[in-house]
Amino acid sequence: MIPLLTVNSLFPPLQEALIEPNGLLAAGADLSPQRLLSAYRQGIFPWFNAGEPILWWSPDPRMVLFPDELKVSRSLNKTLKKTPYIIRTDYAFHQVMHACAAPRKGQEGTWIHPEMIAAYTTLHEIGLAHSVETWMNGKLVGGLYGIALGKMFFGESMFSCATDASKIALVHLVRQLECWGFGMIDCQTKTPHLASFGAREIPRSGFSQKLSELVTYPEPAGKWHFDYEPNK
């Protein structure tokens, strides 16, 4: 049995998370900014289906991408140099979340339901949740969103409706985060797609130790503006 949280409950120690399903730690409570920020600072994230209790997770091992370990394929490098696109940040956060929530081939439903969209939009409004967007011919064609705390970025989801559009956003995000001195990007669980960019699994204990260091930096609150020219 996993603990059932109330609004005033604290999260249990990460070591109490289940082995199967991997990382399930607790259920209940709410998606208030205070609860979400407390969760992320401890390496915990919510993932649940609409209409079900909120479930909180901290898997072991944890998939992460260290910015200086980014891998970009030759074909993607060509796309980055030749494809006409514009990178924008925090320009259409709500639109990005809705695009990430759209049905995908071979997938039933989505975990990015209205309750989650409302919660992360609130974090965006206070300057802690961000979107990186790929625009072509005046249209949003790909992007991603996540949370930044200190020098730590927590990736949540990405979408693409044009070839390599989400990959373009991801590469520019990682390169900018490295420029800003961010130490780690949380990718949550292993996927071949993220592994192709250099993401790898590390033990939860190592993730927690690194996380505790990175979130002590001042909050980078406010809308993001990349301080280099991503299209040059």
| Residue 197 C-beta-side C-alpha neighbours within 13 Å | 27
pLDDT category of residue 106 using cuts at 50, 70 and 90: low
Report pLDDT for 156. 97
- Give the integer Cα–Cα distance in Å for 59 and 34: 22
At 192, which helix (H) or strand (E)?
A: helix 192-195
Cβ neighbours of residue 51 closer than 8 Å, sequence gap 6 or more: none
Report pLDDT for 232. 45
pLDDT category of residue 105 using cuts at 50, 70 and 90: low
pLDDT category of residue 220 using cuts at 50, 70 and 90: low
Ordered by where they begin, the domains of the chain are 4-59 (3.30.70.3550), 63-214 (3.40.630.70)
Q: With pLDDT > 70 as the criterion, what percentage of the chain qualifies?
A: 94
3-state secondary structure of 46: strand
DSSP secondary structure string for all residues of 154-187? EEEEEEESSTTHHHHHHHHHHHHHHHTT--EEEE
What is the token pair recorded at 37?
């920020």
3-state secondary structure of 214: helix
Tens of pLDDT, residues 66-79: 999 999 999 999 99
Q: Is residue 230 predicted with pLDDT exceeding 80?
A: no
- Give the integer Cα–Cα distance in Å for 178 and 83: 23
Please compute the mean of the pLDDT values over residues 104-129 and round it to a whole number: 85
Please compute the mean of the pLDDT values over residues 153-171 and round it to a whole number: 97
Report pLDDT for 197. 98
Q: Are the C-beta atoms of residues 197 and 70 closer than 8 Å to each other?
A: yes
Q: With pLDDT > 90 as the criterion, what percentage of the chain qualifies?
A: 89
Q: Are the C-beta atoms of residues 148 and 128 closer than 8 Å to each other?
A: yes
Angle (CA) 148 175 129, round 5°:
20
Cβ neighbours of residue 168 closer than 8 Å, sequence gap 6 or more: 76, 79, 80, 83, 85, 87, 134, 142
- Give the integer Cα–Cα distance in Å for 207 and 64: 8
Q: Residue 110: phi, psi to the nearest 5?
A: -150, 150
Report pLDDT for 1. 86
3-state secondary structure of 113: coil
- Give the integer Cα–Cα distance in Å for 88 and 45: 26
